[in-house]
């Protein structure tokens, strides 16, 4: 009886793993079949208005790129504070709040940026979208930097200080270098996360059918356009949405795998 | 230089604090008109964007608000009898929709996630556990909008065939949401289980315990607190999820009378109506955002600071 219970339990556990894998397989196969059947290389050359995705892909990269330019330095600086300077209550409060912020609903961050950027500036803009994504990214970068710096051995810090280097030199030249790989991986994963975000962009950057580099106007976004296209009645729009989803997912998964690969090679 | 560097890093860290406080006060400020107008009745009122005759006894009391609203023609209408009409907004439907989809997701994902976590932590050989672990984490990395599209066009029709009813409903939205939180829940539950010292496990095996008994009597009790924390954290995620639910919930402001009825959730109400709303309608959406923010802030804090802190 005991052995039978054990067998049933183990079988159920294996079954759960198979269910999980089946969902992953189902989604990926769907994307592959639907996405590939409407995939052309001309999608990379034409803008949405001409039936392509060029402006959307470039736009999404620009939004995520600017968000990174804002989020990475701020996040790293904050992570450095938590690990190297901060002591006591304040640092642990910030650490806790950053943890909470990481799980805050992305649509709420969109609403926040809508209230503080979109309404005062009179309309949706690429800049508002990038700010929303930067807020999404910030706590992830803080968390990674904080964790990775905590792995750097004390002796390295002491060695640097005893050589007469000032603290910030030690941090920049020794500690960050030692934790570089881990931090880069974390940043890569954070980038993969924000490039696939839709909700914070819906009413901040919106999207645009045209190619644009003007961040003060509504800005082309791949994810927001997928949402719009998928809800259109025409078959052709939905096919385009599938092709776009395929490209987006491939991109996100490749970045994730690269991130994992870097860490594995180094450790 | 040293001073500047230290100041910069301190202010970056403080930014987290400022943003969170900023979110709370901005949302509160933007929902102020709706809070003044409806108070806490907002939470129990099922009517959204419904025109009602303005009660004459109330009209004197709310003169001021009326004046604001006359500016906006959508908000106040006069019918032929010159009776004053106003549009009211209540949040009950999206609040209920949010809680129910999250509940369905949890009920669906919980047993499977536990099974996966046990598989990864205890059953699978190391290399298989590693590969399956990566696959599960990849599932977590797929953008939520993809879950929504796949759910609407491939998953929901099958569910509707089996259960009957609409393809867009509480049930299908909840199930797709469940698939989405599954990997997240499994991964952190596995991490909690992995904290069990192997000495404990080995002693139990040495006494002749089966794998099931070790998991049930050693690992679960040991990592119980962490597992509960993981579940609550996944719940916090599910509450605020927008895109996966937006495709599937049906987006109508009607209380569901059955599990396979369409309805709406807070994030979806925001996603679909924010651009077009103005005046009290917009303020009511901010009110919903505030409610969502407070609920998820609470849920995540409980998970992180009550349960998961103990693990560390």
Residues B169 and B191 in one domain: yes
Residues B145 and B104 in one domain: yes
Q: How far apart are CA B145 and CA A75, in angstroms?
A: 26
- ipTM score assigned to the predicted complex: 0.92
Percent of chain A with pLDDT over 70: 99
Check CB contact under 8 Å for A252 and B141.
yes
The helix/strand/coil state of A217 is coil
The partner residue sitting opposite A5, judged by closest CB among B144, B212, B233, is B212
Per-residue pLDDT for A44 more than 90? yes
pLDDT of residue A236: 92
Name the domain count of chain A: 1
Residues in Cβ contact with A76 at an 8 Å cutoff, skipping those fewer than 6 apart: A141, A145, A176, A183
- Which CATH number is A87's domain given? 1.10.3720.10
pLDDT of residue A88: 83
The helix/strand/coil state of A220 is coil
Neighboring chain A residues of B215 at a CB cutoff of 8 Å: 9
Check CB contact under 8 Å for A80 and B9.
yes
pLDDT tens digits, residue range A129-181? 999 999 999 999 999 999 999 999 888 888 888 988 888 888 888 899 999 99
pLDDT of residue B49: 85
CB B240 within 8 A of CB B154: no
Q: Which of these three, B70, B89, B108, is where a domain ends?
A: B89
Q: Answer whether B302 touches A (CB < 8 Å).
A: no
Residues B183 and B228 in one domain: yes
| B307 belongs to a structural domain | yes
Neighboring chain A residues of B142 at a CB cutoff of 8 Å: 27, 196, 249, 252-253
- Mean pLDDT over A91-100 rounds to 92
Chain B residue with minimum CA distance to A12: B115
- Mean pLDDT rounded to a whole number for chain B: 87
| A26 belongs to a structural domain | no
- Which CATH number is B283's domain given? 1.10.3720.10
Dig out the tokens for A204 from the structure.
């901040």
pLDDT of residue A87: 78
CB B148 within 8 A of CB B242: no
pLDDT tens digits, residue range B257-301? 999 999 999 999 999 988 788 889 999 999 999 999 999 999 999
Range(s) of the domain holding residue A110? 50-266
Q: What is the pTM of this model?
A: 0.90
Q: Which of these three, B89, B115, B147, is where a domain ends?
A: B89
Q: Answer whether B272 touches A (CB < 8 Å).
A: no
Q: How far apart are CA A222 and CA A204, in angstroms?
A: 14
* CA R_g for chain B: 24
pLDDT of residue B310: 60
| B174 belongs to a structural domain | yes
Chain B residue with minimum CA distance to A249: B142
pLDDT of residue B249: 95
Per-residue pLDDT for A245 more than 90? yes
- Mean pLDDT over A24-33 rounds to 95
The DSSP annotation for chain B comes to: -HHHHHHHHHHHHHHHHHHHHHHHHHHHHHHHHHHHHHTTHHHH---EEEEEEPPHHHHHHTHHHHHHHHTSTTTEEE-TT--EEEEEE--HHHHHHHHHHHHHHHHHHHHHHHHHHHIIIIIS-HHHHHHHHHHHHHHHHS-HHHHHHHIIIIIHHHHHHHH-S-SSSHHHHHHHHHHHHHHHHHHHHHHHHTTS-HHHHHHHHHTT--HHHHIIIIIHHHHHHHHHHHHHHHHHHHHH--HHHHTTSB------SSTTS-B--HHHHHHHHTTT--HHHHHHHHHHHHHHHHHHHHHHHIIIIIIIHHH-
pLDDT tens digits, residue range B175-215? 999 999 999 999 989 998 998 898 999 999 999 899 899 99
Q: Which of B140-144, B255-259, B308-312 shows the lowest per-residue confidence on average (mean pLDDT)? A: B308-312
Residues B55 and B186 in one domain: no
The partner residue sitting opposite A20, judged by closest CB among B15, B150, B183, is B183
Q: Answer whether A57 touches B (CB < 8 Å).
A: no
Per-residue pLDDT for A25 more than 70? yes
Neighboring chain A residues of B26 at a CB cutoff of 8 Å: 112, 115-116
Q: Answer whether B264 touches A (CB < 8 Å).
A: no
Residues B64 and B184 in one domain: no
Q: Which chain A residues in 112-131 lie under 8 Å from chain B, judged by CB atoms?
A: 112, 114-116
| B76 belongs to a structural domain | yes
Q: Answer whether B136 touches A (CB < 8 Å).
A: yes
| A12 belongs to a structural domain | no
Per-residue pLDDT for B72 more than 80? no
Model confidence at B81, pLDDT cuts 50, 70, 90, reads: low
pLDDT of residue A265: 65
| B14 belongs to a structural domain | no
| B15 belongs to a structural domain | no
Per-residue pLDDT for A29 more than 90? yes
d(CA A217, nearest CA chain B) in Å: 15
Q: Answer whether A93 touches B (CB < 8 Å).
A: yes
Q: Cα separations (Å) of B210 from B25, B118, B204, B217?
A: 55, 14, 9, 10
Chain A residue with minimum CA distance to B143: A196
Check CB contact under 8 Å for B23 and A84.
no
| A1 belongs to a structural domain | no
Residues B109 and B64 in one domain: no
> Which of B25, B29, B115 to mutate to probe the A interface, most A CBs <10 Å?
B115
* CA R_g for chain A: 22
Residues B186 and B269 in one domain: yes
Q: Answer whether A23 touches B (CB < 8 Å).
A: yes
| B264 belongs to a structural domain | yes
Per-residue pLDDT for A107 more than 70? yes
Q: Which of these three, B89, B122, B143, is where a domain ends?
A: B89
Per-residue pLDDT for B74 more than 60? no
Q: Answer whether A78 touches B (CB < 8 Å).
A: yes
Range(s) of the domain holding residue B81? 48-89
- A and B: number of Cβ contacts within 8 A: 255
Name the domain count of chain B: 2
pLDDT of residue A196: 95
- Mean pLDDT over B3-7 rounds to 89
Check CB contact under 8 Å for A24 and B138.
yes
pLDDT of residue B311: 56
pLDDT of residue A69: 97
Residues B138 and B57 in one domain: no
pLDDT of residue B65: 45
The sign of the torsion formed by the CA atoms of B128, B132, B137, B143 equals positive
Model confidence at B83, pLDDT cuts 50, 70, 90, reads: low
Residues B221 and B142 in one domain: yes
Residues B159 and B278 in one domain: yes
| A11 belongs to a structural domain | no
| A174 belongs to a structural domain | yes
Residues B78 and B139 in one domain: no
DSSP A123: S
């Amino acid at each position: 009886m005991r052995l039978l219970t054990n067998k049933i339990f183990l079988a159920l556990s294996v079954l759960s793993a198979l269910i999980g894998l089946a969902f992953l397989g189902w989604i990926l196969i769907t994307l592959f079949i639907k996405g590939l059947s409407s995939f052309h290389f001309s999608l990379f050359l034409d803008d949405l208005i001409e039936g392509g995705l060029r402006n959307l892909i470039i736009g999404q990269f620009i939004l995520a790129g600017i968000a990174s330019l804002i989020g990475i330095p701020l996040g790293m600086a904050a992570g450095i504070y938590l690990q190297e300077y901060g002591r006591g209550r304040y640092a642990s409060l910030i650490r806790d709040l950053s943890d909470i912020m990481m799980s805050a609903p992305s649509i709420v961050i969109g609403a926040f940026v809508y209230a503080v950027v979109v309404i005062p500036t009179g309309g949706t803009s690429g800049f508002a979208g990038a700010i929303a994504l930067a807020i999404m990214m910030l706590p992830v970068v803080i968390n990674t930097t904080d964790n990775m710096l905590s792995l750097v051995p004390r002796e390295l810090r002491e060695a640097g200080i005893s050589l007469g280097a000032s603290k910030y030199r030690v941090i920049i030249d020794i500690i960050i270098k030692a934790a570089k790989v881990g931090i880069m991986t974390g940043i890569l994963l954070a980038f993969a996360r924000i490039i696939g975000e839709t909700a914070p962009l819906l009413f901040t950057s919106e999207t645009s059918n045209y190619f644009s580099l003007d961040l003060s106007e509504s800005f082309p976004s791949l994810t927001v356009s997928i949402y719009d296209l998928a809800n259109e009645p025409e078959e052709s729009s939905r096919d385009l949405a599938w092709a776009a989803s395929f490209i987006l997912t491939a991109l996100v998964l490749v970045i994730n795998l690269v991130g994992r690969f870097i860490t594995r090679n180094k450790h | 230089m040293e001073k500047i560097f230290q100041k910069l890093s301190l202010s970056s860290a403080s930014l987290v604090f400022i943003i969170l406080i900023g979110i709370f006060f901005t949302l509160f400020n933007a929902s102020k008109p709706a809070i003044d107008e409806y108070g806490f009745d907002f939470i129990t009122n099922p009517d959204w964007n419904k025109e009602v005759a303005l009660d004459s006894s109330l009209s004197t009391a709310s003169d001021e608000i009326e004046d604001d609203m006359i500016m906006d023609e959508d908000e106040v209408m006069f019918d032929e009898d010159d009776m004053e009409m106003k549009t009211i907004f209540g949040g009950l439907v999206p609040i209920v929709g949010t809680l129910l989809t999250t509940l369905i997701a949890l009920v669906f994902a919980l047993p499977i996630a536990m099974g996966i976590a046990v598989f990864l932590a205890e059953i699978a050989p190391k290399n298989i556990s590693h590969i399956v672990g990566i696959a599960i984490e990849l599932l977590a990395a797929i953008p939520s909008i993809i879950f929504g599209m796949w759910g609407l066009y491939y998953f929901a029709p099958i569910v509707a065939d089996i259960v009957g009813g609409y393809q867009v409903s509480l049930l299908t939205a909840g199930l797709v949401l469940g698939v989405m939180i599954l990997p997240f829940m499994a991964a952190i539950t596995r991490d909690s289980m992995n904290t069990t010292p192997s000495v404990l496990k080995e002693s139990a095996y040495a006494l002749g315990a089966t794998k099931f008994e070790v998991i049930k009597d050693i690992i679960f009790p040991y990592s119980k607190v962490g597992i509960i924390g993981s579940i609550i954290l996944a719940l916090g995620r599910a509450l605020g999820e927008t895109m996966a639910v937006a495709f599937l919930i049906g987006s109508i402001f009607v209380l569901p009378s059955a599990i396979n009825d369409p309805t709406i959730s807070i994030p979806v109400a925001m996603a679909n109506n924010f651009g077009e709303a103005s005046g009290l309608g917009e303020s009511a959406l901010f009110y919903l955002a505030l409610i969502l923010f407070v609920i998820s802030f609470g849920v995540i804090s409980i998970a992180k600071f009550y349960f998961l802190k103990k693990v560390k």
